[in-house]
């Protein structure tokens, strides 16, 4: 497996797909990186030469914020929102959806598994 920017990219996929395994690189940037490095985006990653891999690595380090640096940046943005106590920061702090989604139903990914609350006993059962 070729290693680019500290990430092992899969051998058996075209370069434009394999580059997406790097955090911060999506479909558009993957094709753009191939174009800048003058590499055919459809060549499989295992067929890339060392010079092509180093060209891709150079482009990534100079022109893009990726991997650890990007993850750190995202966490800093979220921490800033929490610190200034804005609505979005409050939602992050509480673990609720941040972008206006409904929470009466759905939102299970953010809220976690259901917490069942016991119902009140009826009047008939108390007699």
Return the pLDDT at 126: 63
Q: Are 49 and 16 in contact (CB under 8 A)?
A: no
**What pLDDT was estimated at residue 9?**
86
| Arithmetic mean of pLDDT, 118-125 | 73
Q: What is the DSSP secondary structure assignment for residue 45, as one 8-state letter?
A: G
Chain Cα centroid distance, residue 82: 20
Q: Output the pLDDT for position 96.
A: 92
Residue 119 near residue 113 (C-beta atoms within 8 A): no
Rounded CA-CA distance 16/26 in Å is: 9
Tell me the C-alpha distance between 31 and 118, whole Å. Answer: 55
Give the pLDDT confidence score for residue 1 in this predicted structure: 77
59-113 confidence digits (pLDDT tens)? 988 989 988 899 999 999 999 999 999 999 999 999 999 998 999 888 899 888 9
pLDDT for the residue 97? 93
Residue 100, SS3 per DSSP: coil
> What's the pLDDT score for residue 70?
93
Contact (CB, 8 A) for 60 and 54 = no
Task: Give the integer Cα–Cα distance in Å for 75 and 119.
Answer: 40
CA–CA separation, 78 vs 107, rounded Å? 19
Distance CA(89)–CA(98), nearest Å, equals 8
In Å, how far are 7, 12, 100 from 44, measured between CA atoms? Answer: 16, 6, 41
pLDDT tens by residue, 12-58: 899 899 999 999 999 999 999 999 999 998 999 888 888 988 898 89
Q: Provide the pLDDT for residue 93.
A: 92
């Amino acid at each position: 497996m070729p290693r680019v920017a500290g990430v092992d990219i899969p051998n058996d996929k075209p370069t434009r797909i394999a580059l997406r395994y790097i955090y911060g690189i999506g479909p558009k940037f993957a094709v753009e990186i191939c174009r800048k490095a003058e590499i055919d985006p459809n060549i499989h990653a295992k067929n890339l030469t060392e010079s092509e891999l180093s060209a891709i690595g150079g482009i990534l380090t100079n022109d893009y914020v990726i991997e650890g640096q990007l993850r750190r940046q995202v966490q800093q943005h979220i921490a800033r929102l929490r610190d200034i106590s804005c609505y979005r920061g409050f939602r992050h702090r509480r673990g609720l959806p941040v972008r206006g989604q409904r929470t009466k139903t759905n939102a299970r990914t953010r809220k976690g598994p259901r917490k069942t609350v016991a119902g009140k006993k009826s009047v008939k059962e108390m007699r």
